[in-house]
Structure 1
Amino acid sequence: TEGAGPGIDMYSMRQPLGVVAGITPFNFPAMIPMWMFGVAIACGNTFICKPSEKDPSVPIRLAELMMEAGAPAGVLNVVNGDKEAVDAILTDPTIQAVSFVGSSNIAEYVYATGAAHGKRVQAMGGAKNHAIIMPDADMDQVVNDLIGAGYGSAGERCMAISVAVPVGEQTAEKLVEKLVPRVQSLKVGISTAADSDYGPLVSKAHMDKVSAYIDMGVKEGAELLVDGRGFKLQGYENGFFLGGSLFDKVTPDMQTYKEEIFGPVLQIVRAKDFDEAAALPTKHQYGNGVAIFTRDGDAARSFASRVQVGMVGINVPIPVPLAYHTFGGWKRSAFGDTNQHGPEGVKFWTRIKTVTSRWPTGLKEDSSFVIPTMK
C-alpha cells in the first residue's frame, strides 16, 4: 500500500522549540554546555547557557568562539548568575525547554519548577556509582581503574566510582592489600602540574563538606584505612586540597553510603555473594552509573540486564556513552524522560508534528474521505 489510504499521505516532521536554555555545573564547564547547545542549535533553536557561578569563564569563551566561527549574534547566549538567574530561566514564558546537570535536590527543584511553568525539562542529578568486583576479576586492572575513577578530578564528577563492592572476603582482602598503598601514594598537586593525580576541590565550602563526610564515616563505625584530611600542599597551604581517603567495612545503613560525597573518598562495601552485590546499586536512591569487573560473560550479561542503573560498564569503570548513544541515569539521578545529547537530545530539543494530506487532483467527483465512526 501507499500512504495512509487511497491518495492520502501521512508524514511527520521535527521542528525546533524556539528559545531554550541549559543550566550547567562547575565540574565540566566545557563538555556539558556543549552536550546541550551543540544539539539544540543544530536542531534550529537559540540557546541560553547559565553556567555555574564557580567557574563561568569557559562557557563565555565557548560563546566567543562560536561567534568567531560565524554564528549569528543571539544564537548562543551566556547569562551569569546564581539562583535568581535560574529562577528567571525557569519562569520566563519565552523559554520553551530547560536542560540541567547538578545535584539531585536542585535537579528536582528545576524539574518541578520548570514543569509547573509549562516547560519541557530534563534534569540530571547526583550519583553513587558502584563497582562490583567478582572473585575472578583482574585485580591489578581493578585497582588501576578504581584509582582513576574514584580519585580523578578529585572525585568531583557524577560518574566517579565512589563505592567498591568486592564479592567474598578473599576478594575484599586482595583488594584492600593492593588498593591501600596506591591511595597513599596519590600525588595531589596544582591542576596545571603534569604529575598531579588530581588538584584542589572547587571551594573551601565544598572541601569542608567532604571533610565532614569523612568525620561522619568514622563516627558511623566505618574503618578509615587512608585519611586524606588535613593535607597541606607546600607553597599552597591555603588551597582547597584533600588527600585521598579510603573507607572499608561500610554498610548500606550508613548515611555516608546513602548520600553523594562528591570528593576524593572511596568506600568499600563487602558483599557475601553476587546477588548481595548486585542488589546494592539497584536498591540505592541514585542510579547513574555502575560497573562490574569479571571474566565471566554470563555474570556480566546477567548483571547488565537486571541492575536498576542507567549506564553500565563491564570492565569499564566510567561508562559514559559516546554521542551516538545518550547520557542519563535512573531514579534520583535523573528527572524527566529523555537523556542528554545523542538521539535523545534531538528528541528533547524538537517537537514532532504529523501531517495528513490529500490532494484532489484526479479524484472522482463522488469520492469522499471521512473519519470512520461507529455508524
Structure 2
Amino acid sequence: MTEPGAFVRRVIVTRVLENYIGGAWVRSSGSTLLDVKNPATGEVLAQVPLSTAGDVDAAVKAARAAFPGWRATPAVARARYLFKLRELLDAHREEIAAICTSEHGKTLSESRNDFGRGIENVEHAAGIPSLLMGQSLEDVAHGIDCQAIRQPLGVFAAVTPFNFPPMVPLWFLPYAIATGNTFVLKPSEQVPLTQRRIFELIHTLDLPAGVLNLVNGGKDVVNGLSTHPDVAGISFVGSSSVAHHVYKTGAEHGKRVQALGGAKNFIIVLPDADRERAIANVAESIYGCSGQRCLAGSIVVGVGEAYEWVREALHAAAKNIVLGDGSKPGVTMGPVVSAAAKDRILSMIEKGLQEGAKLTLDGRGATVEGCPGGNWLGPSIFEEVTPDMTIATEEIFGPVACLMRAANLDEAIALANRSRYGNAASVYTTSGKAARQFHNQIEAGMVGVNIGVAAPMAFFPFGGQKASLYGDLKAHGSAGVDFYTERKIVITRWF
C-alpha cells in the first residue's frame, strides 16, 4: 500500500501548464503566468497561464466539431467511457488526493473525501441510459401517440472554484458528456494541478478529440465562455458576486446558466441535542477545510440554555484542532489557500471587532513550526454577534465561528432567514417535531438534521436558494441531467 503523502513530491516541479484542446496538450497564447503555490510551505509548484479569448475560441471550436459525432454515439457507448474513467480515477485516488493537498492545503483525509465525492458523480452519470429515458403515452387522442425525449444541446462549459479541486469539476463533466454534449472546463487558476492530472488520465481513454477540453485562465476565460456564440450553457461555482455576473452575462447571450454562489450557513442547536455528538459535528463543519467550503457552518445559534454549553464545548473543540501541513500525520486543519485569502479573512475579523463583536478565541497569530511560509490562521470564535454585523451577513470563508443566541426555535429560524443567502442550514435536536418545523420553514436549499455539512449524494441535486443560486437548475443528480438536455415532445399519428 502506498504511504499517505508519497505522491506529493510528484508535483514539486516548476513548469508552465498547458491547455487541453482537441485531444492534445497545447500551450496557451497568454503571456501572463501565475505561480501555483503550496499554501503550507509557500513553495512554487507550477505556473499557470492566463489564457486568451483565442484559446477559448480554439477549445469551443474543437468541442463544436466533436459534437455531431459524439451526439450520435449511443448512450450505452458513452457510458462505457465513464466506466473506464471511474476505474482510472479510483486507481489513482491517493495520488490525486496528495496533489489536491499540495495545491490547496487541506488534509489528506479531506482531499480523499473530496475526490471520493467526485468519483461518485462519475458512477452516477454512468447510468445515463436509464437517466436519459423519456416518457410516452399512446392514444393521447384517438390514434395519436405522444412521447417526450431528451436531446443534447451542444457545447457546455464549467468554471470551478479553488476549494474542491477534484470534486466540483466532476459535478458537471460526467453529466455533460454522458448526455451527448461536449465540454470545456476552466479550473480555478489557484489549484489547476489536480485537474491537469485528471485530464492526463482522461487522455488515455481515447475519447474522440474535442469531446473534453480544458482551458486555464482567469476572468477573461470566464467572460469568453459566457459570451461565446457556440457555447450552449455554462456552470459556475464561486462567490455570489461572480455567480451573478456569469448568470447575467450568460443569459444575455442566450445560454443556459447554473451559477452556484456564496453562503452564510446557520447551525441551530436546541437544548435537547446530543451534546457530545453535536459539538464534534459542529466544530468539523466550521473548521473542516479551514472553513473554505460553501457548506461550512458559519453562525452557530444556541437556543435557550443550549447557548452556554455550546459556547464552552465549541471553544474546547477548537483548541484541540491541530494546525499544520495537511500532508503530515496528525494534522486536522491545514492553511488557507493563499496569502490573499488570509488577508481577506483577517480584514473580516478586524471588521467584526470594529463593529463590537467579542473575539473570544483568536487564531490570527497562529504559526506552524518548520513552515514559516504557510498561510496560517488558527480557529477563531466571535461572541456577542448581532444580526446587522458584517460578520453575520457576509461570507468569511475561513476558520471563524460566530455565536448568536435565540430564545426559541422560532426566533432562531427567523435569524437564519434574514440572510440574503440560502445555501445550507442545520439543526441539532432529538425532537422530530422541532426538526420537521425547521426543515419546513428554513430558507435554504440543503438542510441538515443532526448533520453539519448537508452535502447531497451524487444522485440528488446540489444547490441553494436566494443569493446562493442564480438559475433554475441545480448541479448533479436529476437536475444535472435536466440542465444538459432539451426535452422534445413528439406527437405522432399514422394514417
- Using structure 1 for the length normalisation, give the TM-score: 0.94
AA of the residue aligned to 1:105: S
Q: Cα distance 1:33–1:142, how it changes in 2: closer, same or farther (>3 A)?
A: same
> 1:1-375 alignment to 2 at 5 Å?
2-168=138-304, 170-360=305-495
Q: Is the 8 A contact 2:138 2:146 kept in 1?
A: no
Sequence identity (%): 46
* Whole-angstrom CA distance in 1 between matches of 2:314 and 2:440: 29
AA of the residue aligned to 1:253: D
1:273 Cα shift? 1.3
| SS of residue in 2 equivalent to 1:4 | strand
* Whole-angstrom CA distance in 2 between matches of 1:46 and 1:62: 17
1:2 Cα shift? 3.8
| SS of residue in 1 equivalent to 2:149 | strand
Q: Is the 8 A contact 1:67 1:73 kept in 2?
A: no
1:11 Cα shift? 0.7
Q: Is the 8 A contact 1:289 1:319 kept in 2?
A: yes
1:146 Cα shift? 1.5
AA of the residue aligned to 1:146: V
* Whole-angstrom CA distance in 2 between matches of 1:80 and 1:2: 49
* Whole-angstrom CA distance in 1 between matches of 2:237 and 2:198: 18
60-69 vs 42-51, greater mean Cα deviation:
60-69
284-293 vs 212-221, greater mean Cα deviation:
212-221
* Whole-angstrom CA distance in 1 between matches of 2:329 and 2:152: 43
Structure with higher helix content? 2
335-344 vs 184-193, greater mean Cα deviation:
184-193
| SS of residue in 1 equivalent to 2:151 | strand
228-237 vs 339-348, greater mean Cα deviation:
228-237
1:181 Cα shift? 2.0
Q: Is the 8 A contact 1:134 1:167 kept in 2?
A: yes
Matching residue of 1:368: none
- Using structure 2 for the length normalisation, give the TM-score: 0.71
55-64 vs 250-259, greater mean Cα deviation:
55-64
Q: Is the 8 A contact 2:183 2:211 kept in 1?
A: yes
* Whole-angstrom CA distance in 1 between matches of 2:489 and 2:393: 45
1:283 Cα shift? 1.6
AA of the residue aligned to 1:347: D
1:43 Cα shift? 0.4
* Whole-angstrom CA distance in 2 between matches of 1:352 and 1:93: 21
Write out per-residue CA displacement over residues 220-270 of structure 1, whole angstroms, 9 at most, x where no aligned residue.
111111000021111111211100001112110101110000000011011
Q: Is the 8 A contact 1:281 1:309 kept in 2?
A: no
* Whole-angstrom CA distance in 1 between matches of 2:416 and 2:177: 36
| SS of residue in 1 equivalent to 2:140 | coil
Larger Rg: 1
3-12 vs 301-310, greater mean Cα deviation:
3-12
1:274 Cα shift? 1.1
* Whole-angstrom CA distance in 2 between matches of 1:129 and 1:92: 34
* Whole-angstrom CA distance in 2 between matches of 1:79 and 1:205: 23
Count of aligned positions: 359
Write out per-residue CA displacement over residues 271-305 of structure 1, whole angstroms, 9 at most, x where no aligned residue.
11111101122121110000000000001011101
* Whole-angstrom CA distance in 2 between matches of 1:27 and 1:171: 32
Which residues of structure 1 form unaligned runs of 5+? 361-375
